[in-house]
Chains A and B, each alone.
Chain A
Amino acid sequence: MHPKSRNDPLPSEITPRDVYLDRRRLMAGFAAGLLGFGALPARSAAPLKATRNPRYSTAEAANSYEDITTYNNFYEFGTSKDDPARLAGKFRPKPWNVTVSGEAEVTGTFTLEDMLKPHPLEERIYRLRCVEAWSMVIPWVGFPLGDLLKRFRPTSRAKFVAFKTVMRPEEMPGQRYPVLDWPYVEGLRIDEAMHPLAILAVGLYGQVLPNQNGAPLRLVVPWKYGFKSIKSIVEIRFTERQPPTSWNISAPQEYGFYANVNPEVDHPRWSQAKERRIGGGVFAPRQPTLMFNGYAEQVAGLYRGLDLAKNF
């Protein structure tokens, strides 16, 4: 018997205080805007219609909207955790096009609206484990990546899927300096991409994805380190060979193609055995990191027979 009744509210159902305050501020902003008293707040938080997917959601408490949107690794806006929230205001996630190419029957450039239209949105409360040994719990709004990919009818030669982030140094100040080889690229094996846990997110906390979290379209692969979950996607390419990935290009001995969360395979410079859950404050000890970030039951089968220490 599952200890939690289906009727119990999920953590994400309970509106965190700052979201609530945020909404009030937003409404105040709208009112002021309508009356011509002031400008709308810079951060738009348009609500999204999504149904919760309890099957793929954790019951752990979600991090606050504040934490999720102010503590980000999005080097396109700068390498400090607070840079994306500070510097992503100029970024324009609308209009948005995505180009699909490679080993598929349907290819071309599509508007984001056309891409999203057939997909009902779901809320999925996922753990996110960063390679830097911290973690969060995030209520994403999105849909299975595989459902989208199938629409392009990948051919039998499509063994991998490659993704690319938009290149806009004029809006993304971090891209003006070659910290990484811009634009950011990532990739998955096709069976990983088709796994029901892999999603494309367009929102979080029931609202449109803020720029600093990868607007308007980002990948979320919860059993891999966060850097695999590429943001602000403009290109999807089906390939026969394993595509290059940004962090692997930058430091191949430290970041592999797979990047599966694994407490037994340390980063060459630090341990991956434990993680700090964001939001615990100053007196919260680290907690043990789980194999495949706690999604082993669902995804371990993808890697049967693969040496995870070699294919890190």
Chain B
Amino acid sequence: MRRLLKPLLFVLCSMPLAWLLLRAFGVAGASLGANPIDELQDELGAWGLRLLLLTLCVTPLAVTLRKPWLMGVRRMIGLFAFTYVSLHFLNWLVLDQWLDLQSIAADIVKRPYITVGVAGLLMLVPLAVTSTAGWMRRLGRRWHRIHKLVYPAAVLGCVHFWWQVKADWREPLIYAATLALLLGWRAWRARARLQPRVTLARFGA
């Protein structure tokens, strides 16, 4: 199971992208529909956000199930999330905007949902760059502090989605609730870790 998990997750994480490619090239009658650029944009963005939330599920699962080896898949899922988010951004720059830099800059400044989306992506860049073993060693304790950027990035990802919905808030609500739960667990755990010390202090007094 332990040895199989990583390759299995690799295949699972690649499947949405593979499916998009099959649809883009019309393999076996599959298609991206009448508006392929928007379909790519929505699907790549949705999978980026889903995988980012999945990355944040790894620690709570490893801790509650007492299976520390689960932590070994976190980096891979995180890098998949970054890949989907980057492709989402590239699709916007190239196919949607045709690299019209003026229009791209105007959108980033004027459209709050794009502003927060780009900000979230920029936060993920240093995490992807410093995800190697070498960088972990070089950065030492600072690595953990830098990688806390994943929390605001995930928040911005949820906001980015929320702010472009027209009327049906069900899907962004599911992501926001999931994120709230994952961040809530961390807050609860941080408090719980402080708790024993307080108790000891009381005993000492």
Q: Is the CB of A70 within 8 A of B34?
A: yes
Q: Which residues of chain B from 159 to 181 have a CB within 8 Å of any chain A CB?
A: 163-164, 166-168, 170
Which segment, of A75-83, A194-202, A208-216, A291-299, faces chain B? A75-83
CA distance A271 to B35 in the complex (A): 18
Known: A251-B167, A271-B103. 5 other contacts (CB 8 A): A67-B34, A132-B166, A179-B167, A282-B24, A283-B95
Collect the chain A residues with CB atoms within 8 Å of residue B163's CB.
269
Assuming the contacts A270-B111, A282-B95, A285-B98, asked whether A81 and B167 have C-beta atoms less than 8 A apart, the reply is: no
Is B72's CB within 8 Å of the partner chain A? no
Collect the chain A residues with CB atoms within 8 Å of residue B103's CB.
271
Collect the chain A residues with CB atoms within 8 Å of residue B166's CB.
132, 251
Assuming the contacts A179-B167, A269-B164, asked whether A281 and B34 have C-beta atoms less than 8 A apart, the reply is: no
Q: Is the CB of A81 within 8 A of B36?
A: no
Q: Which of A180, A270, A276, A279 contacts B167 (CB 8 A)?
A: A180
Is A71's CB within 8 Å of the partner chain B? yes
Collect the chain B residues with CB atoms within 8 Å of residue A67's CB.
34
Collect the chain A residues with CB atoms within 8 Å of residue B40's CB.
282
A141-182: CB near B (< 8 Å → 1, else 0) gives: 000000000000000000000000000000000000101100
Is A290's CB within 8 Å of the partner chain B? no
| CB closest residue in chain B, given A271 | B107
CA distance A271 to B111 in the complex (A): 9
| CB closest residue in chain B, given A133 | B38
Assuming the contacts A134-B38, A269-B111, asked whether A70 and B33 have C-beta atoms less than 8 A apart, the reply is: yes
CA distance A285 to B95 in the complex (A): 7
Interface residues on B, range: 20 to 34
A189-229: CB near B (< 8 Å → 1, else 0) gives: 00000000000000000000000000000000000000000
Residues on B facing A (Cβ under 8 Å): 24, 32-38, 40, 95-96, 98, 103, 106-107, 110-113, 163-164, 166-168, 170
24 contacts between A and B (CB under 8 A): A67-B34, A70-B33, A71-B33, A71-B35, A75-B167, A79-B168, A81-B33, A81-B35, A82-B33, A177-B170, A180-B167, A269-B112, A270-B164, A271-B103, A271-B107, A271-B111, A276-B37, A278-B35, A281-B36, A282-B36, A282-B37, A282-B40, A283-B95, A286-B96
CA distance A270 to B117 in the complex (A): 14
A251-275: CB near B (< 8 Å → 1, else 0) gives: 1000000000000000001110000
Across the A-B interface, the 10 shortest Cβ-Cβ residue pairs: A71-B34, A79-B168, A67-B34, A285-B98, A179-B168, A278-B34, A179-B167, A282-B36, A250-B167, A278-B35
Q: Which residues of chain A from 60 to 77 have a CB within 8 Å of any chain B CB?
A: 63, 66-67, 70-71, 75
Q: Which residues of chain A from 17 to 70 have a CB within 8 Å of any chain B CB?
A: 63, 66-67, 70
